[in-house]
Structure 1
Amino acid sequence: MQLANGEFAINGYRFGCGHNLQVKELQATSIRWRVQDQPNPVGDNILVGRDFGDPQPIKLGIYARGETAVETAQAAAEFANAWAAARDRKPGDESVLEIGIHGRTVRAYGRPRDLDIDDTEIFARKHADGTAVFDRTDGLFYGDPDNGGGGQVTLSITPPQSAGIRSPMRSPIVTLKGGIRQGIVTNTGLRPTSDVTITIHSTVSRPIVGGDGWEIELGTSLAYDRSVTIDARRRTVTRDDGVSLAGKLTRKSRLDQIIVPAGASEFTFRGISPDGSASATIRWGSAHTSLGA
């Protein structure tokens, strides 16, 4: 979604700059760690251990305003309804908070949580203050691939070639070979990103998609009218009809290893596609530590 500078969206509902529900304060960049540091039991100083990112909530100071008190009340009500929509989500489902900044749109993943609006002035005046808290499941901000904040590449598979028949023939007789195509891309983000989705389309058996340091293989076949989407950040593998194919991943396939590093990298796609129609589309959102970059 393309947002103006200072414009926000929660699950598609827009607010902020240009809307009756405005944002007057924003605390979005906050870095915290869960650490394993321990005092040295036999001497001076501290023994440092592993650090784990501890995502901090995004805090918004908001206010509703309109030409009339009725418009102000309506703006506050619409925002509250959008903010409360997460109540119907299932475990593991996330909301997306989008923020427009200097021609870019960045996304934060998590859930809308606390919302407090001071309704005192809503009866007769045209102003109502409040605060909103968005709990994050991920400490990074991600760009929108549709608006220059990431990228996309589609890899086709080479048609199968005849492998010939050699004597003596042994069962099973195989006369087709899988193809392989490679794609070199550039991630303009400053950090590696795990906000990656891979969508495999059309007729293919045992498709394999790989990148720098990882490889994902599905031990199954897709029909010509089917597709499967692998969401690395959410750790899901879903066919287009909603069926989970996570159980079809081979043992060497690790969703938590799928990343697109900063700078140049290479993707590969291979498998058995008798008619050569199979393709794999890889999309990623660039990763950022703060709203600045």
Structure 2
Amino acid sequence: MLARYKGVEFGGRRGNLIISKFDPSAPEIRSNDHPKPFGDGALAGRDYLGEASWTFELTTNERDEVGALAAAGALVSAWRDPKVRLKPNVTVPLSYMVAGRWRRVYGRPGQITDPVSDVHANLGVGKIVASFRVLDPNFYDDAETKVRLTIVPESSGGIIIPLVTPISTRMNNGQRAGLVENLGDVASPLTVTFHGPARNPKIKAAAGWEVGITGTLAYDQSVTVDARAGTVTRNDGASIPGWLTRATQLSKAVIPAGKSDLTFTAIDSTGTAAVDLSWRNSYSSI
């Protein structure tokens, strides 16, 4: 197994940090079952997947204690980064490679030990134990799928545009609808970036949900709506959740496994408005 966190890679057979043991615990189950008031057993409620913990036992692979401490120090520094651990409601990716494919989970780094200074560390073999709290129960492709959609000018007779390669399209009563595809087996949250000039840009799904903003974007402005993180950010860094349309529900802005119909609408007489759609194929297992 090979893993990577904030640019620090560990695992494999030839690196300076080798994984000697990997223990991925199952997610906790949060249940609201209730005892039957008149009889044996219980009434089944809803079961929710909670937090899981991934524990890595690592060994430094260096020639001396100095090398061992340096190898461990890079990971410890990344693991304890205050820019992550002091921010609430923020999750970060931990990437891993199994069976030749890179995927990722989202969560927060937990405890990590420094290498023990003993005879083994003196020989370049220090022991480290690091845990990562997995807060999203799904697994995602490390590589992101991204598609840019452009607008049809009003003078051309319409504001609904087709999706493009790698997305297939079809004609329907003079309006072109597109198909996006999630190659995983569970729904994946969508990230939408609207680029101006555009007024009231919006993405709608055949499933019924929408992601849209009210207002006008200048030619040099953009707004990114991240359904997984629950954020709405303008390109100058400002958080503007109040710009979302009333019909927007970020919890529903997902691409289910398989193909989905999406359309993009906006008011733009220049024909230069665009939107970027991005997602990661999502899976129910590692």
Q: Distance in 2 between matches of 1:135 and 1:160?
A: 50
Q: 1:46, CA displacement in angstroms?
A: 1.6
SS at the partner of 1:161?
A: helix
Structure 2 length-normalised TM: 0.87
Match among 2, 11, 34 for residue 7 of structure 1 = 2
Partner of 1:168: none
Matched, 1:242 2:237: yes
* Aligned residue-pair number: 268
The alpha carbon displacement at 1:87 in A equals: 5.2
Matches within 5 A, 1:117-156: 117-121=114-118, 124-146=122-144, 151-156=145-150
Q: Matched residue of 1:225: which SS?
A: coil
CA change 1:162–1:139 in 2 (3 A) is: closer
Counterpart for residue 58 of structure 2: 62
CA–CA distance in 1 between the matches of 2:142 and 2:278?
A: 10
* 2:202 equivalent in structure 1: 208
Task: Pick one of 282, 289, 293 that aligns with 2:284.
Answer: 289
- Name the CA distance, whole Å, in 2 between partners of 1:73 and 1:118: 7
99-108 vs 232-241, which moves further: 99-108
Kindly indicate whether the alpha-carbon contact (under 8 Å) linking 1:159 and 1:273 is maintained by their aligned counterparts in 2: yes
* Gapped regions of structure 1 (runs ≥ 5): 1-5, 164-176
Q: Post-superposition shift, 1:7?
A: 1.9
Structure 2 residue 103 is matched with structure 1 residue 106:
yes
Deviations 1:35-55 (A, max 9, x none): 011111112322001111102
How much has 1:178 moved relative to structure 2? Answer: 4.0
115-124 or 251-260, which deviates more = 115-124
Q: How far has the Cα of 1:162 moved from its partner?
A: 7.8
CA deviation map 1:128-162 (0-9, x unaligned): 1121111122111111234xxxx332222211138
Asked whether the 8 Å contact 1:31–1:56 carries over to 2, the reply is yes
Q: Sort the Cα spacing of 1:102 and 1:290 in 2 relative to 1 into closer, same or farther, 3 A.
A: same
Q: Which residue of 2 aligns with 1:23?
A: 19
* Cα distance change on mapping 1:253 and 1:27 into 2, 3 Å: same
Aligned to 2:191: 197
Question: Contact (CA 8 Å) 1:155, 1:183: kept in 2 or not?
Answer: no
Question: Could you tell me the TM-score, scaled by structure 1's length?
Answer: 0.85
